[in-house]
Amino acid sequence: MHSKFVPWMLAISLLLSMMNCNAMEATPSKENHIQNHPPSVAADHVDHPQLVFFTFKDLHPGNIIPIYQLAINPSTSPRFLPREIADLIPFSLSKLPFILDVFGWPRDSPEAKTIETTLKQCETPPLKGETKYCATSLESMLSFVHKTFGTMKYKPLSTQQAVAQSGNYLQNYTVLEAPRRVYAPKMIACHTTRYPYLVYICHYFVGDNQVFKVKLRSEETGSEMEAVATCHMDTSEWSPDQPFLKAYGIKPGTIPVCHFFPTDNVVWVGIISGDQGSPQI
């Protein structure tokens, strides 16, 4: 056997071993692993636009917001592969048949459709003013973040929950306090997407995008959390067919559009020295 195939065999063997381990932890069978992992904001905005996006005025204390899949059970989430392994596995729509062969999924299976959708999302050209990158390893995500921020200091933010939360993916949450804005000269949003191993769709937009920390309480479980939200203040470049705008008959550029980040998403923000955030709204 030619030596160049050895790394591939080792990578595939390790990958399948990790997948079987994760599937045993999270789901009864490997076939359900991808489907049982809840979709991210990036992956699910078409099916549930009114449960993912909301308007700036909705963030006032006492308001109840229905939010889809905000709190993610980490046991159901896939894991990053080491970069040296991830870099050996094709991540391209043109290699879809090979990828499906690696995991043993038929071309007409639900898992194949999920993988194809994620690859299409990653290969779709970015919007005007957007820089997009799909990170297949922790190291590749950090490289993209560092390159984007350059010499600017930065830090990660994520939605925090006091205790592990159970319950439905769709829950009503009450806004407990006035949101606190995190002043950031630049931000990068990284959303998980459905794939056999952990992949983040990261993007950076040029323009006015504001980040907030919002204290919420689940009306189903009573648990509280500090959620991270972003509001896109200028949507003039958005398509009129964007699901949220279309669902509510909103014209691009007329109002800010916001969304929360689930607990398994990461927001990277540039640091302004001494800023602790200030109440808004």
DSSP label of 24: H
Residues 6+ apart with CB under 8 A from 138: 80, 83
Q: Cα separation of 150 and 62, whole Å?
A: 40
Task: Give the phi and the psi of residue 68 in degrees, each rounded to 5.
Answer: -95, 130
Mean pLDDT by 10 residues, the chain (281 residues): 46 51 36 41 44 82 88 79 92 95 90 95 89 96 95 93 63 93 93 93 88 92 91 83 80 87 93 59 47
Q: Give the per-residue pLDDT at 275.
A: 52
Sole residue written with tokens 């998980």: 192
Per-residue buried b or exposed e for 71-86, using 16+ beta carbons within 10 Å of the residue's own CB: bbeeeeebebbebebb
The answer to whether residues 169 and 207 touch, using CB atoms and an 8 Å cutoff, is no
pLDDT computed for residue 237 by the predictor: 78
Question: For position 50, what pLDDT does the model report?
Answer: 52
Whole-number pLDDT of residue 103? 84
What's the gap between Cα 150 and its chain centre? 23
Q: What is the predicted pLDDT for the residue at 211?
A: 94
pLDDT at 25: 37
pTM: 0.79
Q: What is the pLDDT of residue 31?
A: 37
Q: What is the pLDDT of residue 128?
A: 81
Where are the chain's structural domains? Answer: 3-279
- Would you call 270 helix, strand, or coil by DSSP? strand
